[in-house]
A and B are shown apart, each in its own frame.
Chain A
């Protein structure tokens, strides 16, 4: 995990995943703008996880 932090794609993926969790939490726990936050959270979450997963297959030069 710590090693992967050296990969920019993983860092970007982690950032968007955390933002997705915040948006998802906000969407589920509050009544304001639920749908917009929910849809954005889903897109951010998919993007973030994909970026992190794809990092596995990257070469060591992606550091």
Chain B
């Protein structure tokens, strides 16, 4: 792929804009809260788009296109099963506690609801995960640019990290969020021409359906038997593992996404943020799943587009999106496509770094390292942590380059930590008897349970490091089983330990637990402006979409 002057011009314009946003916001940063938590009263449309953009990094975009090519339309489960329901639940039931408690972060909510040890466990694991994720994002960007454009790996790393550092250092969370919104439009508008042209090339959706195996064009029909569908999953495993444990664990507890809703200017907007975000999220498969399905259909016609092969002669699904961009986009539009990919990598990195600096400063440094200093002190620390986060990301990117397996290892460990989280929040928010000891030991037991399950199961040659007592057909199925077991272990451990330990008094739990919190009351308005009816309507739409593509 060769870029020409217009392509470079578009990339440069994008860089100028993202850095410019940092400079524009710089003057509004007066306190640590402005920098780390954004206290500007951000409007709903920005918080909503930032909410889904935080999960629209290039690894997700490229990964979902790859999954579309590999598994077909079943990939939509990551949206219509693995996202929408959890987002609606977060908006209707959980945001009142996050926002109403005035916590500045999710770990801080855990400190209010439970105790310091639960907070520190969550804060430490989250900080480590975000900063390593940021590094992996950087490594993936440099690797992609090296393969696709033959750009030097080191130059890509330092330029991309340098730009992210400038705008996050200048404008903090607000700057990262504003660039996420720009990135959202760039991805949607930048990839739409590709979908249109490739769909036309493939003869339209009806032709794609007739040319592909039915397992690739039906989302649910072949899920009654794990051996009958390309993902190798039974529908129960999908619904519990992805639709409940992993989805709710990510969308409802991960500070990186919840932080966007916590930026809202009032409780109503905070609740509406994930609900409004569910609308574009529902339609996102058109941009990130459909191209993969089109790609596999195009390969049925010789002489046209082909997914590239890897060193072993297998289809390299990860390269589906970049290769489609190279195949269809002329000079000019090619710059838009490459910029969209770079934007999503950098935005993913910035999102991780800004979540890292908030949690490190508010949940590790302030409560445990240096207490009771002026706000200016914590502002300076927040900025220093931003620089440190970027430098650790760069180091992680180089480690990832040297040890390819480290990516898989980190993702695995992140899965162990994330799997059980939702059980802690569910019990904490909806059962006032849950104690700090219960929450802490539940999390520990859930994580250990996840690791043991992985050590006792084997899928695609992975796992089974203790002994193999159960073989799973696909790695994805194994991940769902590991998450499911960790959730169940956490859930019951938390209940048992809570029943054996002393709970907090009711007065201490007001605003933190469902039964002790007044429900938000808003002025009467038409049904389509009210939170629960909108959520129910979107729920119905999601179910209809699942039925249409059954």
Proximity bits, A4-31, B CB within 8 Å = 1, else 0? 0110100110111011001101110010
How far does the alpha carbon of A62 sit from the alpha carbon of B174 in the complex, in Å? 12
By a CB distance below 8 angstroms, the chain A residues around B335 are: 22
User: Within 8 Å of chain A (Cβ to Cβ): is B17?
Assistant: yes
Is A32 an interface residue when CB atoms closer than 8 A count as contact?
yes
A23, A27, A47 pick with most chain B CB within 10 angstroms: A23
CB-CB < 8 A to A36: which residues of B?
193, 197, 329-330, 333
With A12-B185, A15-B182, A47-B189 known to touch, is A22 a contact of B10 (CB < 8 Å)? yes
Task: Note all chain A residues with C-beta closer than 8 A to B13.
Answer: 15, 18-19, 22
- Kindly list chain B residues whose C-beta atoms are within 8 Å of the C-beta of A47: 185, 189
Q: Which of B6, B178, B265 contacts A25 (CB 8 A)?
A: B6
> Most A CB atoms within 10 A — which of B21, B329, B330?
B330
A26 vs B329: C-alpha distance in the bound complex, in angstroms? 13
B286 at the interface (CB under 8 A from A): no
Contacts of A25 in B (CB 8 A): 6
Contact with A22, one of B6, B178, B193 (Cβ below 8 angstroms)? B6
Nearest A residue to B332, CB-CB? A26
Tell me the complex Cα distance, A11–B332, Å: 21
Query: Size of chain A's interface in residues, with CB distance under 8 A?
Result: 29
**B129 CB–A CB distance under 8 Å:** no
Chain B, residue nearest A59 (CB): B43
Interface size class of B (residues with CB under 8 A): 20 to 34
- By the criterion CB–CB under 8 Å, are B43 and A62 in contact? yes
- List, in ascending order, chain B residues with CB within 8 A of A63's CB: 28, 40
Q: Which residues of A contact B533 (CB under 8 A)?
A: none
A27 vs B43: C-alpha distance in the bound complex, in angstroms?
37
Q: How far is the CA of A37 from the CA of B24 in the complex (A)?
A: 31
**Which residues of chain B come closer than 8 Å to A27, judged between CB atoms?**
332
The answer to whether A5 and B24 touch across the interface, beta carbons within 8 angstroms, is yes
- Contact residues of B between 1 and 33, Cβ < 8 Å to A: 6, 9-10, 13-14, 17, 20-21, 24, 28
> How far, in whole Å, are A43 and B197 apart by their CA atoms in the complex?
15
- Distance, CA A12 to CA B188, complexed state (A): 13
Instruction: Give bound CA distance, A40 to B500, whole Å.
Output: 64
Which residues of A are found within 8 Å of B193, using beta-carbon distances?
36, 39-40
CB contacts (< 8 Å) of B265 on chain A: these are 61
Nearest CB of B to A12, in Å: 6
Question: Which residues in A have their C-beta under 8 angstroms from that of B46?
Answer: 8, 62
A11 touches B17 (CB 8 A): yes
Kindly provide the distance from the CB of A21 to the nearest chain B CB, expressed in whole angstroms: 10
Interface residues, chain B, with chain A CB atoms under 8 Å away: 6, 9-10, 13-14, 17, 20-21, 24, 28, 40-41, 43, 46, 178, 181-182, 185, 189, 193, 197, 265, 329-333, 335-336
Known: A5-B20, A16-B185, A16-B189. 9 other contacts (CB 8 A): A15-B13, A15-B17, A19-B13, A25-B6, A30-B331, A32-B331, A47-B189, A62-B43, A63-B28
